């Protein structure tokens, strides 16, 4: 089975699992062995799915200001976890291909495999929720048709990205491309790097 097929199946399963309770505070019931690629993919998509719904909640125009601030900070923390998960997935691939000797003319890709998989995870969420809009019983036909057009584009993106991911991994395995992963070094959560935070410490 191709890597993109594994990703897409797990992302779809995870999104369906989340919507059983449809609660941002529900615990993930990851059925896969810790340390496996499948486990990493499921956990990654669970983080994305919870954050998707947190983003919906925080945009409620009538939300209490304190509750909104707490949610924004939770989203910031979730973004850091999301980045960490991408780096764990890249570490998995780095280990998988550690014995591959790149060809003399091997090139580097614009993004690592895991960051492409990150986009595939988000696409799975977009597709799920756009399909829900297409199926909405209380929506107008005009709304449903507009969403159906968008859904078709998203499905095309999914197919193209899936192919690109499989091609990239195949090229890495054969030495045509090589992996070079840069840590994201997010600054906004670090009290030593965010000027708003470190200026408060010196005042």
pLDDT in tens, 35-89: 899 999 999 999 999 999 999 999 999 999 999 999 999 999 999 999 999 999 9
Q: What is the pLDDT of residue 43?
A: 97
Q: What is the pLDDT of residue 182?
A: 74
Q: What is the pLDDT of residue 181?
A: 78
Residue 192 has pLDDT above 80, yes or no: no
Average pLDDT value over all residues in the chain: 92
Q: With 0.85 as the threshold, say if the pTM is over it.
A: yes
Residue 4 has pLDDT above 90, yes or no: yes
CA distances from 59 to 30, 64, 130, 132, 172 (A): 29, 11, 18, 19, 41
């Amino acid at each position: 089975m191709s890597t993109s097929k594994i990703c897409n199946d797990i992302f779809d399963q995870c999104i369906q699992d989340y919507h059983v309770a449809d609660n941002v505070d529900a615990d993930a019931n990851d059925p896969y062995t810790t340390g496996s690629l499948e486990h990493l993919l499921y956990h990654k998509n669970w983080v994305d799915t919870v954050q998707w719904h947190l983003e919906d909640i925080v945009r409620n125009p009538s939300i209490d200001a304190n509750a909104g601030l707490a949610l924004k900070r939770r989203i910031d923390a979730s973004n850091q976890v999301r980045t960490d998960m991408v780096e764990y997935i890249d570490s998995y691939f780095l280990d998988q291909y550690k014995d591959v000797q790149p060809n003399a003319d091997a090139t580097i890709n614009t993004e690592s495999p895991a960051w492409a998989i990150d986009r595939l995870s988000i696409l799975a969420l977009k597709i799920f929720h756009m399909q829900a809009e297409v199926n909405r019983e209380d929506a107008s036909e005009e709304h449903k048709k507009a969403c159906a057009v968008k859904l078709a584009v998203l499905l095309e993106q999914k197919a193209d990205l899936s192919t690109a991911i499989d091609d990239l991994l195949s090229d890495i395995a054969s030495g045509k491309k090589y992996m070079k992963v840069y840590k994201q070094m997010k600054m906004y959560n670090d009290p030593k790097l965010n000027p708003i935070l470190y200026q408060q410490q010196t005042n």
